[in-house]
């Protein structure tokens, strides 16, 4: 039976690396982002490089509930079994709690937490029904370590980590696996313009490979969390 992975924010960074990793293994891809052209490019490149993998996408702003509901509707209309869900979409706006714009927290909660919460709620009933599935959620070292100038980003990621922990407890009896991914500084567009050598960062491909290896374990085991940092430590 053909398997499907759904990755939010799949056109860049860790999301793109995860799609590459699973496409390499023959999985069909379902994804979304805010940019239609980036999605078209992704589909073309993945389907050319991995001829057994098909890419299904919809332009979506997951911080907007209406847009998220439309994406969920699109996924349901595909009438396929989502074997793996990767809650990857996220946003980082630097700032101190005492100084940042008052809209920073609501916006990052909507983008980083609510998107994963509502998408998971929309897809998990089917996983429970068939007693299989794996949910990966991209948290961060900011989920467990407070950073100066991390403000509302840290708050949203702490909450996301908490959600993942609760899901793990709720879903274990249904044979649905839940894994929190906590990467440190990863070489993605978020770090564009920073004057640091590439070797100071985690490679997105390393995060993707670690996720696939966690997924590939037998059903007897689950990796509850993956904490990955640059070899030389946090930035």
In a domain, residue 214? The reply is yes
Confidence of residue 195 (pLDDT cuts 50, 70, 90): confident
In a domain, residue 192? The reply is yes
Query: 48, 5, 7, 41: which is closest to 25 by C-alpha?
Result: 5
In a domain, residue 233? The reply is no
In a domain, residue 234? The reply is no
In a domain, residue 21? The reply is yes
Indicate the number of domains in the chain. 1
In a domain, residue 30? The reply is yes
Residues annotated as catalytic (active site), given as ranges: 153
Residue 189 scores a pLDDT above 80: no
Q: What is the CATH number of the domain that holds 51?
A: 3.40.50.720
Q: Per residue in 68-100, pLDDT tens? A: 999 999 999 999 999 999 999 999 989 999 999
In a domain, residue 96? The reply is yes
Residues 22, 4: Cα–Cα separation, whole Å = 9
Residue 187 scores a pLDDT above 80: no
Amino acid 194: pLDDT:
78
In a domain, residue 108? The reply is yes
Q: Cα dist. 211→6, 16, 147, 196 in Å?
A: 14, 13, 25, 26
Q: Per residue in 4-57, pLDDT tens? A: 999 999 999 999 999 999 999 999 999 999 999 999 999 999 999 999 999 999
State which residues form the domain around 90. Answer: 4-228
Q: Which two tokens stand for residue 64?
A: 């907007």
Whether the pTM exceeds 0.75: the reply is: yes
């Amino acid at each position: 039976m053909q398997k499907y992975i759904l990755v939010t924010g799949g056109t860049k960074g860790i999301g793109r690396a995860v799609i590459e990793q699973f496409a390499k293994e023959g999985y069909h891809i379902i994804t979304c982002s805010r940019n239609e052209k980036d999605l078209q490019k992704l589909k073309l490149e993945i389907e050319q490089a991995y001829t057994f993998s098909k890419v299904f996408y919809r332009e979506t702003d997951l911080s907007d509930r209406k847009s998220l509901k439309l994406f969920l509707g699109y996924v349901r209309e595909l009438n396929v079994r989502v074997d793996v869900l990767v809650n990857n979409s996220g946003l980082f706006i630097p700032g101190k709690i005492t100084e940042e714009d008052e809209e920073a927290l609501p916006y990052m909660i909507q983008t980083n937490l609510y998107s994963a919460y509502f998408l998971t709620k929309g897809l998990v009933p089917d996983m429970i029904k068939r007693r299989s599935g794996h949910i990966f959620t991209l948290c961060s070292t900011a989920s467990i370590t407070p950073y100066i100038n991390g403000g509302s980003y840290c708050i949203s990621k702490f909450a996301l980590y908490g959600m993942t922990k609760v899901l793990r407890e709720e879903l274990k009896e249904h044979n649905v696996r839940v894994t929190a991914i906590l990467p440190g500084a990863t070489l993605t567009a978020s770090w564009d313009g920073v004057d640091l050598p590439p070797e100071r960062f985690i490679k997105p491909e390393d995060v993707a490979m670690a996720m696939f290896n966690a997924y590939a374990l037998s059903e007897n085991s689950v990796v509850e969390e993956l904490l990955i940092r640059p070899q030389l430590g946090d930035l």
